[in-house]
Structure 1
Amino acid sequence: MTGGSLGEAPVPSGTTRIAGSPDGAFLYASKSFSPASTITVISTATNQDVGTITVGSGSHAAAVSPDGSRLYAVNRPDQTVSVVDTATRTVTATVPVGGTQPQEVTVSPDGREVYVTHNGGVTVIDAATNSTAVIPVTGAPATVAFAPDDTHAYVTNSASLGNPGLAVIDTATRTITGTVPLGGPTFALVVSPDGKRAYAARSLDKRLSDIDLDTLTVTDTIVFTGQRPQRLGLTPDARRLYVTRSSGGDGYSLSTIDTATNTIISNSDFNARIRDVAIGTPPTADLGLSLDAAPRPGVNGRIDYTVTATNNGPSSLTTATVTVDVPAGATSNGCQIDGTKATCTVTSLNPGASTTRQISVPVSALSLGTPYTVTATRTASTPTDTDAANDTAARTCTATTPLLINCD
């Protein structure tokens, strides 16, 4: 996609900001009111309003956790953040921010911490306990973007005078370890999926800075004419950068940038005001397999195999099929066996969770003294599995007699 509108979704009049769920299934549109604001939930499948969430006063920016389970909404006048359960669409906590004029909110890639910018610093919210700590940052911190491995957070600064540039925060020590001068106030910020580059919007002078995060230097500058850059969105493959632009009488547009050359390859004009970019990433779930073999010697000796399937995330597993090559005569209480193939089905597995299936092979089904290898293979799964390296597991056993069984 190089630009253009594929459709429109109605949002309430007065909507100030948009946030998207990581899987792209929902948009959350913030509408600022006092004493209470609302967030409209929009299904991207139907482009229809599917619910409303009431949050604090003057709701502004919002962000969704990587697993999509929580939404964090900044309430400017209240100087708080509303924590929303996206399943029930209710506020479960209201967290005070440790500074005035809270601006933007960003959730760390692992979902454990939430960074909120405000005058003179960044408040860090522990997502598990909602406890807070403040990292002092000179000026007017604007937007936070994280390194993919969570080791660093990068903070732009909108201060007009004495602007310190881009601040680099060590997330383990919560200290500033470096800065990148950017020549003036900066606002929106994105970091590439490999953590090597960042783009920072210098809205007032109509520029984007392309930053090398290894050397902490600006390597290129993209200059706009007319409308100012507002918000940024980078595709998961980092090939395209989307920039919302606006400026009074010049209207509103969406620019698409080829990041290989840093050239603008399209501009799409809009009649309505646009400000945010939300790019969803299709969910993935890496299902890893392991296989154990336990000899059971005896007059009716057998080998008990245990297939363990573990969801390594990042998303929940909906369903998966694991096939196991077995000799005729094998039995199982959790898999369907047809001749020499066992088919095992796995459903509804959360990230980090495991499930097991057992298969028993009688020694009488084996050729005595000949090694026999049983192999388990993931043959299908939803959502997409991104790592084929752990899709198979095998064990080799040799039965000399029903009383003597060895497994590697």
Structure 2
Amino acid sequence: MAKFVAPMMQAQTPDSDVTNVQLAGSVEARRGPIGDVAAADGVIVVANYGDDSISVLNAATLAVQSIIALPGEPVAVAVADDRAYVGTSSGTHDEVSVVDLTAKSVIATYDLALSVTALTVSPDGKRVFAARTGDGYADVAVIDVPAERMGTIEIAAGAGIGIDAVEVDASGKRLYVGTTDARGSALVVVNVETARVERAVQIGAPIRDIAVADGTVYVLTSDRARGGVVHVIALATGRITGTVQLGGAPTQLVMGTDKTRAYVVDYDRVVVLGPLTRKVTHTITVDARPSSVAVDGDRLHIADYAGVVTSYDVEPARPLTYSDFVATDPIAVPEVAELEPAAV
């Protein structure tokens, strides 16, 4: 049976325009460390990377509903339309497994030639984007779910090239890819319909994650020199309009449902950031080191390396509108770089 535990929580006193954070509960899934977590429509899916399985939880009660075996070690998971899409790695190859959460079984697999490094799914659940990295080459595999076929978007080639983050916008028409190579990092903007790169905005430090909100992209970077930094980029101009210094060694950035808060996994804590005010409003700690977070409505779910999922109710203290806080004066105009063509 799952064991309910009471983790510690530390939070700064919220400002009047930010978020209240209240512990809702936690559960030990008993499948070892959790590498990734996704949530949608009242379901939480966690990747048990040491167990070659995913656990499916009821988001309201945190009860473990099922454990589903996978053909390899899960490295990334996304959820949409009663299905989980899981990037797995084995001794012979990587693949994306499609899991029917109602039938509680794997219903399809897509073999991938290169290593899966990041995964996302379109809002309508019709396309899955799997970032792949090879030797001096990086691309994105696109799975057309209704047609049950796969295509490829070429991203870039270069020494040490890799993709650490992919995110799709609310329309499903633009894909944002975070690349890092020997020269630095870039936010690559891809037109999904044409499968072509439209723009590359130079960032600098290694990119860890990407979040999108109403014409703005938030790019999380981290290195030894500056620690964690969130770069705010206006998509209409391709300009950096601001930065938020976080320090630490963050690894993940997830946008909240109403876009008035974002959550950053930073080694042994989760930082709650107001992307509109660009201020840290809370710091949340749990009993073990957090590995990843997911948001579903007004619930924040934190997975950790001890195999525990902890949920919080996160509600704004008062209504906010995104347009009230969007910066209008850019502070930097990065170069738009031409990427090297990928090798055929």
Matching residue within 203, 208, 224 for 1:230: 208
Map 1:199-278 → 2, pairs under 5 A: 199-204=176-181, 205-225=184-204, 227-235=205-213, 237=214, 239-278=215-254
Which residue in the other structure is 1:63 paired with? 38
Does 2:143 align with 1:169? Answer: yes
Q: Matched residues in 2 for 1:141 and 1:202: separation? A: 14
TM-superposed CA distance for 1:81, in Å, is 0.9
Map 1:7-406 → 2, pairs under 5 A: 45-55=19-29, 56-65=31-40, 67=41, 69-100=42-73, 102-108=74-80, 111-119=81-89, 120-132=94-106, 133-157=108-132, 159-161=133-135, 163=137, 165-183=139-157, 184-204=161-181, 205-225=184-204, 227-235=205-213, 237=214, 239-282=215-258
Identity %: 20
Q: Is the 8 A contact 1:156 1:166 kept in 2?
A: yes
2:84 match: secondary structure: strand
Distance 1:250 1:160, change over 3 A: farther
TM-superposed CA distance for 1:258, in Å, is 0.6
Q: Is the 8 A contact 2:164 2:207 kept in 1?
A: no
The structure, 1 or 2, with the larger RCO (C-alpha pairs under 8 Å, 6+ apart) is 2
* Paired AA for residue 170 in structure 1: D
Structure 2: any 5+ residue segments left out of the alignment? 12-17, 260-296, 298-344
Which residue in the other structure is 2:311 paired with? none
Q: Matched residues in 2 for 1:244 and 1:38: separation? A: 31
TM-score (norm 2): 0.63
Q: Matched residues in 2 for 1:146 and 1:38: separation? A: 32
Cα deviation code 1:11-52 (max 9, x no counterpart): xxxxxxxxxxxxxxxxxxxxxxxxx99997989953343322
TM-score (norm 1): 0.54
Distance 1:152 1:40, change over 3 A: farther
* Paired AA for residue 105 in structure 1: V
1:206 match: secondary structure: strand
Q: Is the 8 A contact 1:166 1:182 kept in 2?
A: no
The alignment covers a number of residue pairs equal to 241
TM-superposed CA distance for 1:201, in Å, is 0.8
1:129 match: secondary structure: coil
TM-superposed CA distance for 1:62, in Å, is 0.5
Distance 1:77 1:249, change over 3 A: farther
Cα deviation code 1:142-197 (max 9, x no counterpart): 2222233333222111x341646111111124321333233232121111112221
Larger radius of gyration: 1
Distance 1:136 1:88, change over 3 A: same
Distance 1:215 1:125, change over 3 A: same
Which residue in the other structure is 1:296 paired with? none
Cα deviation code 1:283-336 (max 9, x no counterpart): 9xxxxxxxxxxxxxxxxxxxxxxxxxxxxxxx9xxxxxxxxxxxxxxxxxxxxx
Q: Matched residues in 2 for 1:219 and 1:41: separation? A: 45
Q: Matched residues in 2 for 1:39 and 1:165: separation? A: 42
Cα deviation code 1:63-104 (max 9, x no counterpart): 101x2x11111111112111111111121111112223x211
Cα deviation code 1:353-373 (max 9, x no counterpart): xxxxxxxxxxxxxxxxxxxxx
2:103 match: secondary structure: coil
Q: Matched residues in 2 for 1:264 and 1:39: separation? A: 41
Structure 1: any 5+ residue segments left out of the alignment? 1-35, 284-314, 316-408
* Paired AA for residue 73 in structure 1: V
Q: Matched residues in 2 for 1:181 and 1:254: separation? A: 23
Which residue in the other structure is 1:401 paired with? none
Q: Matched residues in 2 for 1:47 and 1:105: separation? A: 25
Distance 1:40 1:191, change over 3 A: farther
Q: Is the 8 A contact 2:34 2:47 kept in 1?
A: yes
